[in-house]
Amino acid sequence: MKKNPTPSMARKLSQEMPRPDPRHPSRQSRTRGQAVTRSVDGPAVRESDLQRHSLLSFFELSKELDYSLNIYDFADRALFNFMGHLGTPHSALWILPPEATGSLVLIRSHGIPESVARQIGMQCIETLVDRLLRDRRIQFRDDLSDIFTPADLELLRSRGLALFAPLLAPDKLLGVVALGTRQNTAADPFEIEVLQASAEFFAVALQNSMFYHQLQESVRELRQANENLQELDRAKNEFVSNMHHELRTPVTVMQMYAESLLEEAVAGSSQREHLKIVLQQTEKLKRMLENLLDYSGLAGNRIEVQSGPGDISALLRDYYDNRRNGVAARLHDFRLVLEDDLPAVIFEPRRMRQVLDILLDNAMRFTPQGARITLRAHRLPDDPAMVRIQMEDNGPGIAADKLHKLFVPFLQVDGSLTREKNGLGLGLALANRLVQAMGGKILAASEIDRGTTFTLLLPIA
Amino acid sequence: MSRPSGNSEGSRPRPKPAGSSREILAGDFKMSDGKRRGSLMLLELSGRLDGRAAQLVQQRCAELRAQGMHVLGLDLSQVTFLASSGLGVFLAETEEFKEAKGSLHLIAVSSVVSSVVNLLNVGRFLSLVPSVDDLVVGKGSR
């Protein structure tokens, strides 16, 4: 899935690079180092040394990107490489969401505070998108006075950002990388040429990675949809079971009174014949109810949970590893914060994963792209018998008067916070039942514009 | 930009413990467990600091920051190769530590490291210190 460096570039590298000593791989680097130590800040810096450094950076990048990495790891690896390539402490990367409806999403920034990088994304980079699509080349800040306002230019200058590299797929722009340049020495045209190639290579790898993780996520969603259908089937069975019990009682009472009246009715009277018909029909109704119950197979309708003591840290870490890339593919920054040495907790692993899936999917569904979702676990200082697990997001939050509706089946909290809200409204109700069945509790807290936190309290073994 | 805590390695290669409790190995790269000298935490790095090793260094820096250690020294005297990503991590982490009101110092840099630093003229962005003692008694150059 990787794009390899072009043969012409490889030839150029092999001509310019000193041959490595197979017995001492590091010796090549030392040779390279000795060649430039005399050029500290001086004019004697050899152009070929910078060019060699550029090509090496490109080749290092080709080894560092693996399609299984998620978008945030990809961004880090590429940005660190680009920073070391050009020698700048400033960088940022924004992605255009795949559905192309939203605005740029900041993935990572280094040497620039996150809030400022978001502002730059909205204020400057969005206006640059058309130019990058048109020219398909790295653009320099100081050549963009026709599209940037003096305020934009000042903002970019103050944060040390000097050039913008498009991340291009064949037919669209995937994202934009912004970089500074090193102080006092302008970047060599060859370095920029190699950086352009690096950005193109990175874009292909990034797109492959996004496809891979979107596919993985689709498979998981199908699996999840199947589990939800099973859950729906169980809910239907429960409904049928309840209806059966509710209907059977009045039918039995009707049957008893009809029998009693039949015993008192005069033989051969039309009243007796009518009562016989009533009895036949009530008997038929009872049989239908029994059949309905048999058909639904309701004997084991209750949710079965087999809880036992287990290592909750291991489960959460494993869960995080499994879901992290898929979540990142949907442009959500998923993080894990675990307290060291958590004690064993009572739970059932399969059901616990099911609860976490519900909470995480819920967080993704009701927060905008680029939002952060944090899974935390720690002990409760004021309750030594419980461990607290939280799924926390920094999304738009839920109004206090709607929080109590969250765990009611078939209800969804409606309103402006919904980005997309597919679903039946069963998830949180099911999570609530599962956690209770494991001997725990589930709570929700939220603040408008600050985010929502679901808290699971599980008993320590 | 704030970073995930130390537990959030995700799909990244997990550091392989060797010898002491937190010594990390990746290829011929090695990063020591860390020694405290007053408020300074000192890590010794050796071998090839390539892209993967750079990720491990970055994760360890983030862990230490999350644990409240704000003065970190990286002894680079035994580093035999510095990839662009390695330099990128030093530049990024220097900024991260500054943002956290702390500092990151590169100590006793090997000739390989200093050649890349000099070539790219990035010395002014980094805190380069000749030895740990210079740093501890406050003589580090910036």
C-beta separation of A342 from A381 below 8 A: no
Taking the C-alpha atoms of residue A408 and residue A429, their distance in angstroms, rounded to an integer, is 6
- Mean pLDDT, rounded, for A6-11: 44
- Confidence label for B25 from pLDDT (cuts 50, 70 and 90): low
Pair of tokens at residue A219: 């498979």
- As a residue count, chain B comes to 142
The mean-pLDDT minimum among A175-189, A402-416, B35-49, B80-94 falls in A402-416
pLDDT of residue A369: 87
- Confidence label for A42 from pLDDT (cuts 50, 70 and 90): very low
pLDDT of residue A413: 56
User: Could you say which residues from 113 to 152 on chain A have a Cβ atom under 8 Å away from some Cβ of chain B?
Assistant: 113-114, 117
Phi then psi for A262, rounded to 5 degrees? -65, -40
For an interface test with B, the pick among A76, A118, A334, A340 (most B C-beta atoms closer than 10 Å) comes out as: A76
User: Could you say which residues from 285 to 324 on chain A have a Cβ atom under 8 Å away from some Cβ of chain B?
Assistant: 317, 320-321, 324
Residue A133's CB is within 10 A of a number of other CB atoms, namely 13
Which range is most confident: A56-70, A96-110, B113-127? B113-127
Of A32, A41, A321, the CB nearest to B121: A41
Query: If you search the block for the tokens 């003229």, which residue do you land on?
Result: B121
- The separation between CA A134 and the C-alpha centre of its own chain, rounded to angstroms, equals 32
C-beta separation of A438 from A458 below 8 A: yes
pLDDT of residue A17: 37
C-beta separation of A363 from A394 below 8 A: no
pLDDT of residue B139: 47
CB distance from A73 to chain B under 8 Å? yes
pLDDT of residue A185: 64
Strands A441-447 and A451-459: antiparallel
Q: Does the pLDDT of residue B42 top 90, yes or no? A: yes
- Confidence label for A366 from pLDDT (cuts 50, 70 and 90): confident
Sign of the CA dihedral with B126 first, then A186, B81, and A28 last: negative
pLDDT digits (tens, 9 = 90+) for A368-382: 888 999 999 999 888
List beta partners, residue B30: B25, B46
The mean-pLDDT minimum among A100-109, A137-146, B101-110 falls in A100-109
pLDDT of residue B15: 46
Among residues A158, A460, A177, A198, the alpha carbon closest in space to that of A339 is found at A460
Taking the C-alpha atoms of residue A35 and residue A49, their distance in angstroms, rounded to an integer, is 8
Strands, E, within B40-84: which ranges?
40-49, 71-82
Taking the C-alpha atoms of residue A288 and residue A226, their distance in angstroms, rounded to an integer, is 30
B80:A335 CB<8 A: no
- The per-residue pLDDT of chain B, averaged, comes to 81
Q: Which residues are CB-neighbours of A231 under 8 A, at least 6 positions away?
A: A426, A430
A111:B116 CB<8 A: no
pLDDT digits (tens, 9 = 90+) for A430-448: 788 889 989 999 999 999 9
Phi then psi for A369, rounded to 5 degrees? -60, 145
Taking the C-alpha atoms of residue A379 and residue A101, their distance in angstroms, rounded to an integer, is 42
Taking the C-alpha atoms of residue A113 and residue B100, their distance in angstroms, rounded to an integer, is 11
- Confidence label for A240 from pLDDT (cuts 50, 70 and 90): confident
Torsion of CA A452, A458, B3, B8, to 10 degrees: -130
Q: What's the ipTM? A: 0.81
Chain A residue with CA closest to B114: the answer is A37
Q: Which residues of A touch B83 (CB under 8 A)?
A: 56-57, 60, 81, 84
User: Could you say which residues from 348 to 377 on chain A have a Cβ atom under 8 Å away from some Cβ of chain B?
Assistant: none
Q: Which residues of A touch B50 (CB under 8 A)?
A: 60, 63-64
Phi then psi for A363, rounded to 5 degrees? -65, -40
Among residues A63, A87, A9, the alpha carbon closest in space to that of B115 is found at A87
Q: Is B102 exposed, middle or buried (0-12, 13-18, 19+ CB in 10 A)?
A: middle
C-beta separation of A351 from A434 below 8 A: yes
Query: If you search the block for the tokens 């805190």, which residue do you land on?
Result: B127
Pair of tokens at residue A406: 């969250």
Shortest Cα–Cα distance, B48 to chain A (Å): 8
Shortest Cα–Cα distance, B38 to chain A (Å): 24
Q: Which long-range contacts (CB under 8 A, 24 or more apart) does A66-69 make?
A: A67/A1, A67/A2, A67/A205, A67/A208, A67/A209, A67/A212, A68/A209, A68/A212, A68/A325, A68/B11, A69/A209, A69/A325, A69/B11, A69/B12
Shortest Cα–Cα distance, A411 to chain B (Å): 34
Torsion of CA A349, A355, A356, A362, to 10 degrees: 170
A111:B80 CB<8 A: no
Name the strand (E) or helix (H) holding A147.
none
Residue % of chain A over a pLDDT of 90: 37
Q: Which residues of A touch B46 (CB under 8 A)?
A: none
- The per-residue pLDDT of chain A, averaged, comes to 81
Of A49, A83, A111, the CB nearest to B119: A49
CATH code for residues B39-141: 3.30.750.24
DSSP per position, A353-374: HHHHHHHHHHHHHTS-TT-EEE
For an interface test with B, the pick among A63, A67, A80 (most B C-beta atoms closer than 10 Å) comes out as: A80
- Mean pLDDT, rounded, for A411-421: 46
Q: Which residues of A touch B123 (CB under 8 A)?
A: 41
Name the strand (E) or helix (H) holding B30.
strand B29-31
Of A49, A53, A60, the CB nearest to B50: A60
pLDDT of residue A103: 81
**First and final CA of chain A: distance in angstroms?**
46
Shortest Cα–Cα distance, B37 to chain A (Å): 24
Give the residue, B31 or A413, on which the prediction is more confident: B31
- Mean pLDDT, rounded, for A254-265: 88
Chain B residue with CA closest to A41: the answer is B121
Shortest Cα–Cα distance, A113 to chain B (Å): 6
pLDDT digits (tens, 9 = 90+) for A320-352: 998 888 888 888 999 999 988 899 999 999 889
